[in-house]
Structure 1
């Protein structure tokens, strides 16, 4: 692409292989950014000197961090590993960005909330994580806020699905091809989010550069069962999707009962309302039916 110095220059940690990193790299390029996607082997994000050199050599205006510990259940038994990636890494990157005067974009999660609400969470609502994963991600947010970095965007997102890597929707579709019935949890409600859309919102925010915490999720809400059912229907599969309570599918880490996020602040910042998650599920399913990705 042609360099556009007015748009910016972005390094995307995890940009070559990640579920979010890959569409984010494309969205930023489409928005006119010069983009340098990396893998952890090419640029060790824990090597502060290497990160600082990369920021300087590339002339970066933005650093996007899509590297995280996302194995929610495994985190319960690997507290140091979860905190290293989800707290210590954002803290290190914030220091590097502060020194280089670069905007840091960090991705967080709906798991920072307790899940006890009855209305969509806003950015101002009190946090209260009930899992190691959620606590470690919240600690990463706080590390950035306490770092002295003035240029940051923290995007809380949820229930990601999209092309290129394993995700819940893809797993459900693969199972539905060979089964007459899928039994899926129906008493956990959240905000399904398409990675392609999240990447686009991220690029929009990068163009405008507002500072703060933003909830970045698909519009509307649904249960895991409803998400699976929409995907199966979109794929034209005959598999029945049956709702079950969480008690029938025990997991090591606590899952929020209700973790719907309000994206009103994001909509105001980017000048458009994010698409309904149901629409994006259909788009994703249709696209996967016509691609080898």
Structure 2
């Protein structure tokens, strides 16, 4: 029996408990990477010396950072904590990776864009975040670049859903099971993305060794209302899903009205198009139903 050639050695920060970290750990292992998933208690990501030791001890070729401040509305009042996790942390990780000659794979967001386009955002489009969350994530991207790190992949993604942790689709299904009607915002348009898909793209992209910023999201686009309606339909629930404007669902942080991400660069790099978000949602709903049986 021939041995499989190892693709690399990856440490995944947040790999044991995270919405993305857990499927990412599995996808990397399936792709041929040796993987060490961690929690924040096992390896403090802010302890640069500890991270450097971990990279050396594991002979790591890649460091994946899935740790972030993602509470979009809370960030408006918790600016210091948002910037500490979303800017300062990736800066420190980039320095550690530079010294270890490892690639840093870091996740960013569609919220770095203003949302005033009518066609999908490319990696070259001007940024213009209008929330603390988006600004802190953009600051994290810039901090990585400013360290001079040569081996990096920054993956901007959006509207994540997947097994194991709280997410929008799971919340909608829980509400729809007990209500006759749900009113969901219909004038914010984005790119719903499965964490399982994102994990797979990440592993494939890491294996290419190509550095840069990549948009990694499900194909197509949807409003929050359309995403909710598709999930409810897939689950066979009788709940009505009604579209409302953002003005009827006020939130502290301003969301982009349109933040669809173009995945042409990702597709050209890994050799395949991301699957449509509708298919990913249906698979997620069906898999949740089977796990509940």
Shorter-chain TM-score category? over 0.9
Match of 1:71 in 2: 71
* SS of equivalent residue, structure 2 residue 260: coil
Q: How does 1:250-265 map to 2 (within 5 A)?
A: 250-265=250-265
Match of 2:55 in 1: 55
1:183 matches 2:149: no
Match of 1:108 in 2: 108
Gaps of 5+ in 1: none
Q: Distance in 2 between matches of 1:16 and 1:6?
A: 21
CA displacement at 1:131 relative to structure 2: 0.2
Q: Distance in 2 between matches of 1:138 and 1:42?
A: 28
* SS of equivalent residue, structure 1 residue 290: helix
Match of 2:84 in 1: 84
Gaps of 5+ in 2: none
Query: TM-score w.r.t. structure 2 length?
Result: 0.98
Match of 1:270 in 2: 270
Residue-by-residue CA offset, 1:6-49 (whole Å, 9 max, x unaligned): 41000000000000000000000000111000000000000001
Q: How does 1:30-49 map to 2 (within 5 A)?
A: 30-49=30-49
CA displacement at 1:193 relative to structure 2: 0.2
Give the total of aligned pairs: 292
1:127 matches 2:88: no
1:19 matches 2:19: yes
Q: Distance in 2 between matches of 1:19 and 1:163?
A: 7
* SS of equivalent residue, structure 1 residue 144: helix
Match of 2:10 in 1: 10
Q: Distance in 1 between matches of 2:35 and 2:100?
A: 17
Checking the alignment, whether the CA contact within 8 Å between 1:3 and 1:33 is kept in structure 2 is: no
Match of 1:199 in 2: 199
Q: Distance in 2 between matches of 1:40 and 1:181?
A: 40
Q: Distance in 2 between matches of 1:5 and 1:85?
A: 35
* SS of equivalent residue, structure 1 residue 35: strand
Checking the alignment, whether the CA contact within 8 Å between 1:4 and 1:33 is kept in structure 2 is: no
Match of 2:171 in 1: 171
Q: What RMSD over aligned residues (CA atoms) do the two structures have, in Å?
A: 1.2
Match of 1:291 in 2: 291
Checking the alignment, whether the CA contact within 8 Å between 1:3 and 1:32 is kept in structure 2 is: no
* SS of equivalent residue, structure 1 residue 149: coil
Match of 1:280 in 2: 280
CA displacement at 1:3 relative to structure 2: 8.9
Match of 2:240 in 1: 240
Match of 2:231 in 1: 231
The 4+ residue runs of structure 1 with deviation greater than 3 A are 2-6
Q: Distance in 2 between matches of 1:210 and 1:149?
A: 13
Q: Distance in 2 between matches of 1:27 and 1:267?
A: 18
Match of 1:217 in 2: 217
* SS of equivalent residue, structure 1 residue 214: strand
Checking the alignment, whether the CA contact within 8 Å between 1:156 and 1:216 is kept in structure 2 is: yes
Checking the alignment, whether the CA contact within 8 Å between 1:4 and 1:34 is kept in structure 2 is: no
Checking the alignment, whether the CA contact within 8 Å between 1:187 and 1:246 is kept in structure 2 is: yes
CA displacement at 1:209 relative to structure 2: 1.2
Query: TM-score w.r.t. structure 1 length?
Result: 0.98
Checking the alignment, whether the CA contact within 8 Å between 2:6 and 2:34 is kept in structure 1 is: no
Match of 2:95 in 1: 95
